[in-house]
Structure 1
Amino acid sequence: MINRLVLWNIDLTLVDVSIVTREAYAEAFREVTGRPLVKLTPPNGRPDSEIVFEMIALNGIVPDDDHLPRFLHALARSFGARRERLARDGRMMAGAREALRAVAELDGTAQSVLTGTIRSNAVHKLAAFGLDGYVDFEIGGYGEEVYPKATLLQVAQGRAGRRHGVVFDGGNTVLIGDSARDVQAARIAGVAMIGVASGRSLPAELREAGADLVLPDLGDPSRVAAAVVALTSPARATGHGSA
């Protein structure tokens, strides 16, 4: 029985494909606006939907109602066209595969992603490094969904709950990510948080934001798995699972 949910951030937690991502953004921006991208908004743990709106404003474009869906469609196409370059021009973060495997081996554990990346691109990012088999993309939360990240986390919990017939709440859910924004989302949603200081947030920033545990990286998979167990308790069955 699945009774524990682990949600992973992707960028700078599991992989780094920033070069390809920047190129895809630039191409999508030109396609949608007819102008070159001059200023790229730093992601800082934010969803693609939020980045798009800010990037449009920063580059002097007056937004309209169809900018977001057009841009996300263009971004998916542009990024997908570059998927063969992800492994070559990007990198898997140290220990990512081993950590995912160690958590997958824990009894009763479902893994997915909570990411600012749109779903199709999230799949490409993990598939490029052979990490996609460790997560259930059906129960994740993604950047095209216009929710604050804490709300998106709760959406993912609901999806996982319906799939597995249990209640996922603050007692049996763990978020693993590299940014202070990830930590803040976990705190607002009331779930446990493992901060990984492999991204732009320093260990002190992750601790100050409220991470339950801060690791330098994912290089010790047994420590990651042990932390997940220590921070969770079994979920309650609802009797409505479809797993």
Structure 2
Amino acid sequence: MLWNIDLTLVDVAIVTRDAYAEAFRLVTGRPLVKLAPALGRPDSEIVFETLAVNGVVAEDAHLPKFLSALAVAFADRRKRLAKEGRAMPGARDALKAVARLDGVVQSVLTGTIKGNAVHKLKAFDLDKHIDFEIGGYGEEVYPKATLLQVAQGRARERLGTPFTAANTVVIGDSTRDVQAARIGGAAMIAVASGRSTVAELREAGADIVLPDLSNASEVVAAVAGLTAPVDRGTVGGWLA
């Protein structure tokens, strides 16, 4: 299972904005006036739009410098995450319940850069069941659908099992997550815990739409119903 993070598992928007503001100041020497909305996009894309809407002409060196500064700024603020953010309803129980399914491996497909993704989940003790080495992250300059395929490739190399739409499930809250699953090759469970409505998620093509993660049994049933195991005797047979 490839989990989206923001507004699917956690909400840490206040700390994220502060970290972006600090990174922007360090890279450009100017205060951040407007932060480009996330809208399910990777940090790499948000950085370029943020530079543009603040009147900064992007150069080749901007992205690596900004992402490096963002990682440091976010790490410096990680103790604020649990105080000023929150785990989404049911996130912890859903992760635990899915982990009990035979052969399931859980990772993330997120627009957040890897270091910050780890901080976000650790702040709420949501990292225990996540294999961070086979995920897809926001510093990788790929469309999210391609990032999904990158994550499947990493899982195949690590676990020795091919991953396709038959045994990969994405859980996310935005229509972009749904589109990535449809294009990249995965089943899709959408949760209406973010800014996309139930109707929008269904129209985008989600296989199953849940109001949130508060019913762990419902989440497990959705995963099991969408996933065809390659080999029930092989750990890692499902990327769910």
Could you tell me which of 183, 194, 197 is aligned with 1:199? 194
How is 1:90-169 mapped onto 2 (pairs within 5 angstroms)? 90-169=85-164
Deviation at 1:236, TM superposition (A): 6.0
Counterpart of 1:44 in structure 2: which amino acid?
Answer: L
Give the C-alpha shift of residue 66 in structure 1. 0.3
Q: Does 1:217 align with 2:212?
A: yes
- The one-letter amino acid paired with 1:62 is V
Q: Does the CA contact (< 8 Å) of 1:178 and 1:199 recur in 2?
A: yes
- Within a 5 Å distance, the mapping from 1:3-152 to structure 2 comes to 6-152=1-147
Does the residue aligned with 1:194 lie in a helix, a strand or coil? Answer: strand
Report the counterpart of residue 225 of structure 2 in structure 1: 230
Q: Which runs of 5+ in 1 are unaligned?
A: 1-5
- What is the Cα deviation at residue 74 of structure 1? 0.2
Q: Determine if contact 1:39/1:58 at 8 Å carries over to the other structure.
A: yes
What are the within-5 Å matches in structure 2 for residues 162-181 of structure 1? 162-181=157-176
CA distance in 2, matches of 1:24, 1:164: 35
Structure 2 CA distance, aligned partners of 1:61 and 1:40? 13
Distance across 2 between alignment mates of 1:136 and 1:76:
20
CA distance in 1, matches of 2:230, 2:163: 6
Q: Which amino acid aligns with 2:64?
A: P
**CA deviation profile, 1:131-167 (whole Å, cap 9, x unmatched):** 1111000000000000000000000000011111100
SS at match of 2:39: coil
C-alpha distance in 1 between matches for 2:197 and 2:151: 27
Cα distance in structure 2, aligned partners of 1:147 and 1:208: 24
Q: Please, what TM-score do these two structures have when normalized by structure 2?
A: 0.96
Please say if residues 167 and 236 of structure 1, whose CA atoms lie closer than 8 Å, have aligned partners that are also in contact.
no
Deviation at 1:36, TM superposition (A): 0.6
Moved over 3 A (4+): none
d(CA) in 2 for partners of 1:208 and 1:54?
A: 27
CA contact (8 A) 1:195 1:215 kept: yes
Q: 1:234 offset after TM fit, Å?
A: 1.3
| Structure 2: 5+ residue stretches without partners | none
Q: Identity rate of aligned residues, in percent?
A: 72
Given residue 168 of structure 2, which amino acid in structure 1 is its aligned partner? T
What letter matches 1:7 in structure 2? Answer: L
Q: Is the CA contact 2:149–2:185 (under 8 Å) kept in the aligned structure 1? A: no
Q: Between Structure 1 and Structure 2, how many residues are aligned?
A: 234
